[in-house]
Chains A and B, each alone.
Chain A
Amino acid sequence: MLSYLANPLRFMRFSRLAVPISFALGALMIGWSLYNGLFVVPPDDAQGGDLMRAMFTHVPSAWLCMGLYAGLAGASFIWFIWRHELADVAARAIAPIGAGYTALCFITGSIWGQKGWGAGWHNLILGDSRLMSVLVLFFLFLGYMALRAALETRQKAARAGAILAMIGFINVPIIKVSVDMWQTTTIHQPSSVISIGNPEPRDEDSGMNIIYLQQLLWGFGGHTLLAAAMVMMLMRSEVYTQQADRALALKLEGA
């Protein structure tokens, strides 16, 4: 599938259809998740009563910002090894969407934390492994975009950006283990769905009741489709820009 879409012409044909479908499905899934999360499921008293309904927005954005960074690092790796131009186009398109979802994770987490922890994130962030590692992720997205913008040729920008994205990937597992293995270094709660080395799972099956998990997964699926549609749109924009640059170069040569 990926090698089929690696041809820009095929990608443009595929994305013309895939973008509206992803948007529509994503919006429906997010709507369904929020409807159930806000109006249907009962509050979970062990998780702070009604306040836990914030997780149906916060958790999908947190998963997605890590997933988008993995996508950025993966696309950069493909460009770095095989020099595939469309992989570089994808990496460039993922960065602003990843930064946006990381910002969403921060904004929603800070509002939730204000009530849940009784303190704003600005008072906690310096000494907290989870909050700090997510802040580093946000700066990695911004740094990637700034680095690319600062270099004069596309090849130099792609090479420097790819190296930064691949090195920065080390931060993704750090974010994950920061709440599971270094619990004493963070106020953030441990993972409720998939935990790595967590010594105290909340109950015998999983940390989370299935009725909440279902809504989380609908929300995550919806935001993933929405993010995929946005990335494809930005990739289309980049392909148009490259075609326009080539047309301009030909025009100047002819003049």
Chain B
Amino acid sequence: MPDYGDDAFYVWSVTLAGLVLPVLMIAYSLIKVRLSKARLDRLKGDEE
């Protein structure tokens, strides 16, 4: 692990934020597409 001295907290906080926020956005997109597909499948199933 590199030693960034006084800057370590800031560098790792920024890097962590840069990983966590995109992962949250991916999770949001995945949940949204799964829910809308499930709704469509349910409606199609009802028709049949």
Contact = CB atoms under 8 A, between A and B. Distances in A.
A binds B: yes
Given A50-B5, A244-B39, A247-B43, A233 B32 contact: yes
Interface in B4-42: 4-8, 10-11, 13-15, 17-18, 21-22, 24-26, 28-30, 32-33, 35-37, 39-40
Contacts of B18: 34, 57-58, 61, 104, 108
Interface residues of A, number: 42
A107 B11 contact: no
A22 to B, nearest CB: 11
B15 A237 contact: no
Contact of B21 (A48, A96, A104): A104
A100 B29 CA distance: 12
Interface stretch (A3-11, A111-119, A141-149, A197-205): A111-119
Q: In terms of DSSP, what is the predominant structure of the interface of chain A? A: helix
Nearest to B33: A237
Given A104-B17, A111-B17, A237-B36, A54 B46 contact: no
A111 B13 contact: yes
A149 to B, nearest CB: 14
Q: In terms of DSSP, what is the predominant structure of the interface of chain B? A: helix
Contacts of A58: 14, 18
A134 B18 CA distance: 18
A39 interface: yes
A38 B39 contact: no
A133 B17 CA distance: 22
A95 to B, nearest CB: 12
Interface in A13-64: 23, 34, 38-39, 48-51, 53-54, 56-58, 61
Nearest to B12: A38
**9 cross-chain pairs, A with B, having the tightest CB-CB distances, nearest first:** A57-B18, A240-B36, A50-B4, A54-B14, A233-B29, A237-B33, A244-B40, A50-B7, A51-B7
Given A111-B13, A226-B26, 4 more contacts: A58-B14, A108-B17, A233-B29, A248-B43
Interface of A: 23, 34, 38-39, 48-51, 53-54, 56-58, 61, 96-97, 100, 103-104, 107-108, 111-112, 114-115, 223, 226, 229-230, 233-234, 236-238, 240-241, 243-244, 247-248, 250-251
